[in-house]
Amino acid sequence: MPEGDTVFRAAARLDAALNGQEVTRFDLRVPQLATIDLTGEVVHNVVPRGKHLLMRIGDQTLHSHLKMEGEWHVYPPGEKWRAPAFKARAVVGNAHAVAVGFDLAMIDVVSTRDEGDLVDYLGPDPLRDDWDPAEAARRVVRDARPIHVALLDQRNVAGFGNVYANEILFVRGVLPETPATKTDAAAIIDVGARMIRANRGRAVRTFTGDSRRGQNTWVYGRENRSCRRCGTRILTGELGADAMKNRNVFWCPRCQT
């Protein structure tokens, strides 16, 4: 599931393949952007911002968001794509590599000087050099909603998705429905930042230290199974900012009080 660490790795792969190279192929397969052509321009860099990707080409920025299913692949020129071509939404190529964005939920092209209009609403990002944990904690603790919902709000802190929210709260022993105002937000943010930083370089995300399939989470996706700490049955439910944004939550009723 694409979260901040997934986007961080995607940006690193894209930057390694495209940075400093002249664009020889540019194809956006969405109607409103189909006529934009940046061939001949040079890619300056590709950077992550929370769950957003910013590809700076010439004086323009190609912005994309992976949402739930999106992904970027990098191929040598001429190599067969690993996903169907009809799922491709963006293609950026040079003499040495072709980057293809599949199932991208959001694509924009804006002047680089205006890219802040798309991402400046985001809260502090633990994977950026300007990470400000105190500001992230301040935003979270002022949020009157359940702590699980507050952690998912990208305006509070950028990069945490549903997997992280569940795992962070288990490690801190906090029930997902606890009002954020009644939590130790600084400690929660510290745990989350350490988790996502530890995972940013891993091919397989893990929270337990074990990267084997089915062994890498404490509670996420483990409903009705025994808690790895105390043996109590893991419970599941739903929480969200509203009924249309509910996310699955998982918790141990004994470890999270």
pLDDT for residue 1? 61
CB atoms within 10 A of CB 199: 24
Residue 10, CA distances (Å) to 16, 17, 167, 217 in order: 10, 11, 22, 22
CATH fold label, 4-118: N-terminal domain of MutM-like DNA repair proteins (3.20.190)
CB 227 within 8 A of CB 173: no
- Predicted TM-score (pTM) of the model is 0.93
For the chain, give the longest Cα–Cα distance: 60
pLDDT score of 166: 98
Q: In this structure, what token pair is assigned to residue 203?
A: 């091919």
Second CATH level (architecture) for the domain 133-251: Orthogonal Bundle (1.10)
Residues acting as catalytic residues: 2-3, 51, 247
* Three-point CA angle 238, 244, 247, nearest 5°: 30
- Residue type at position 215: Q
Residues of the chain with CATH 3.20.190.10: 4-118
**Are 29 and 88 within 8 A, CB to CB?**
yes
Domain with CATH 1.10.8.50 in the chain: 133-251
Residue 33 identity (one-letter amino acid): L
Instruction: Compute the distance between CA of residue 19 and CA of residue 13 in angstroms, rounded to an integer.
Output: 10
pLDDT at 67: 86
Which pLDDT belongs to residue 181?
Answer: 98
Q: What was the pLDDT predicted at 90?
A: 98
Could you say which residues of the chain have pLDDT below 70? 1, 243-244
Measure the CA–CA gap between 34 and 30, rounded to whole angstroms: 6
pLDDT at position 68: 84
Residue 134 is which amino acid?
Answer: A
User: CA-CA distance, 154 to 65, in Å (whole number)?
Assistant: 13
**Residue 13 near residue 203, CB atoms below 8 Å:** no
- Give the Cα separation of 20 and 45 in Å (integer): 7
